Amino acid sequence: MSDDVIRIFDTTLRDGEQSPGCSMNISEKLEVAGALVELGVDIIEAGFPIASPGDFEAVKKIAERYGDQTTICGLARCRPEDIDRAWEALQHAKNSRIHVFLATSAIHMQYKLKMAEEEIVRRTAEMVGRARDYCDNIEFSPEDASRTELDFLCQVVETAIDAGATTVNIPDTVGYATPSHYFNVIRTLKTQVPNIEKAVISTHCHNDLGLAVANSLAAVEAGARQVECTINGLGERAGNASLEEIVMAIRTRSDFYNVRTNINTPRLVPTSRLVSSVTGMKVQRNKAIVGQNAFAHEAGIHQHGMLQERTTYEIMRPEDVGVVGTNLVLGKHSGRHAFQDRLKSLGYNPDPETLRKVFDDFIALADKKKEVYDSDIVALVEQRTHQVHETWSMVRMHTSAGTGTIPTATIELQHENGEIRKDAATGDGPIDAVFVALERVVGLSATLTDFEVSSVTSGKDALGQVNVTIQHGSETYHGTGISTDVIEAAAVAYLQSLNKAMAQHQTKSE
């Protein structure tokens, strides 16, 4: 690969999933992995195979399905059993990478590992060598590198490369570094490690001080040629460097960085939406690149400038990152072919069955709304595309509430075997009553841990989107629903999360 290309190493499925409440099941991980392939990421870190049977199975399936389209990576500690398990998961991928790590900072060596420097160096050489016996694409990470004494860091990196590491990742594990500090770390490795040209230098920055992207870009300036990042900046604590911000900073300021990426940037917003939907982690409105307000201009002076010349206040074009505007789409009397053409222009090419369902949804929505926007269509197609297995589906619901009355809900559901069940319940409000009734019908109780309502577009008749997170046992599950009726949207979202919980319970029972 040319030295002017920055490899994008996406760790949404590994580090991103470690965010509290962001766990994904295997089918969701496969869906996200497919989106990352479409996005054009160079390496997908699919998981930590030894962590759990579920993680192992997810890495294995992603490697089998996508390992001929991009490089699939599995994480391993510097332990024989970790490395063996990682290779077992990755072995069927045409393009695979084993990523081994070992802490090197004094505080980690003293309190976590209880190992001396000599033991760290010996273990690095042995375990990188063991991984290299399986695979010729090996990444080594000295954990907490930004707080590691520089001479020792250089020694460990040199040892790892001698043992066969082809990528050396320099993690800012706790988000401690500043841009100038991190630049100096990378520059020191470039100038003082004698065999550094045999490996690619990578960055992995956490965002505890809000500097993850700045630090990553400083490392690129210093000579790093791989950046580890996540969609929407997901990750432990305050998260990781945001993929979309890294990519668009490099693209927008190519005059400064003189490098490029292989990312298909119009897929940034759709991929962001998918990850947000799957994990239940809503993107803040003013989030750079993919936030709802990222290309909005409200101040009068800004609007005036935009009307005269777009570049007065926009350094990127919305279409370059896949932003869907508020263009009105076809009406309810429009034909299926015209509707399909509109979907294609928005970047969607659903299979015939999904197209039929989305078109039916569109006609139903057009009967309820005066104006249907592109964003409405995107919400409808994503809802159909990302549906989960439905053990129970909604037939009908009715709610009653008001001042001085007891909120009630009546629910009718259909099981996948054809059985129909009905029940009614009361609650603190109509939505609470719906949730209680749903739990009674499906026979599963859960704790609601998060509930968010937002509008897809503007206006009193806008589609409402409801995201819920429930906890059942030790696991959390997310659900999303859209409707012009937010109570109905809440019911759809809650039923979706219950279906996920039941599917997971069934899988464990088998």
Tell me the pLDDT tens digit for each residue of 52-91: 999 999 999 999 999 999 999 999 999 999 999 999 999 9
For residue 491, the model assigns a pLDDT of: 97
pLDDT value of position 172: 98
Mean pLDDT of all residues in 438-462: 90
**Nearest residue to 32 (alpha-carbon basis) of 46, 18, 20, 49:** 46
**Angle (deg, nearest 10), helices 430-442 and 486-509:** 30
Counting Cα atoms < 13 Å in the Cβ hemisphere of 138 gives: 28
Cβ–Cβ < 8 Å for 177, 144:
no
Q: Identify the weakest region by mean pLDDT among 101-110, 122-131, 156-165, 472-481.
A: 472-481
Exposure letters 32-47 (e unless 16+ CB within 10 A, then b): bbebbbebebbbbbbb
Percent of the chain with pLDDT over 70: 92
Please tell me the distance from the alpha carbon of residue 368 to that of residue 488, in angstroms, as a whole number: 14
What's the rounded mean pLDDT across residues 344-373? 85
Give me the residue label for tokens 């075997």.
417
List 453's β-bridge partners, or say none: 466
Q: What is the mean pLDDT of residues 156-178?
A: 98
Q: Is 305's pLDDT higher than 60?
A: no
Is a pLDDT exceeding 80 seen at residue 184? yes
Question: How much is the pLDDT for 422?
Answer: 96
* Pairing mode, strands 200-205 and 226-229: parallel
pLDDT of residue 470: 94
Q: If pLDDT is split at 50, 70 and 90, which confidence band does 331 have?
A: low
Read off the pLDDT band of 304 (50, 70, 90).
very low
Q: What is the mean pLDDT of the chain?
A: 91
Q: Do 328 and 373 form a contact (C-beta atoms < 8 A)?
A: yes
Place of tokens 């010729």: 136
- What's 447's DSSP letter? E
Band (325; pLDDT cuts 50, 70, 90): low
The secondary structure element, H or E, covering residue 163 is helix 150-163
Residue 224's nearest CA partner among 215, 212, 233 is 215
Contact 392, 498 (CB under 8 A): yes
Stretch (H or E) spanning 409: strand 408-415
Q: Spell out the alpha helix ranges (H) of 164-285.
A: 179-192, 212-222, 243-252, 254-257, 268-279
- Region of poorest pLDDT, from 105-109, 154-158, 163-167, 262-266: 105-109
**Tens digit of each residue's pLDDT (9 = 90 or more) over 198-241:** 999 999 999 999 999 999 999 999 999 999 999 999 999 999 99
Model pLDDT, residue 388: 73
Q: What is the pLDDT of residues 19-59, one digit of tens each?
A: 776 778 898 899 999 999 999 999 999 999 999 999 999 99
Residue 302's pLDDT is what?
Answer: 45
Q: What is the DSSP letter of 79?
A: S
Chain-centre distance for alpha carbon 94:
24
203 strand-pairing partners? 170, 227
d(CA 171, CA 159): 17
Instruction: Check: CB of residue 58 under 8 Å from CB of residue 90.
Output: no
Average pLDDT of the residues in 427-443:
96
**Confidence at residue 309, expressed as pLDDT on a 0 to 100 scale:** 62
* Model confidence at 303: pLDDT above 50: no
Give the range among 94-103, 354-363, 367-376, 433-442 with minimum mean pLDDT. 367-376
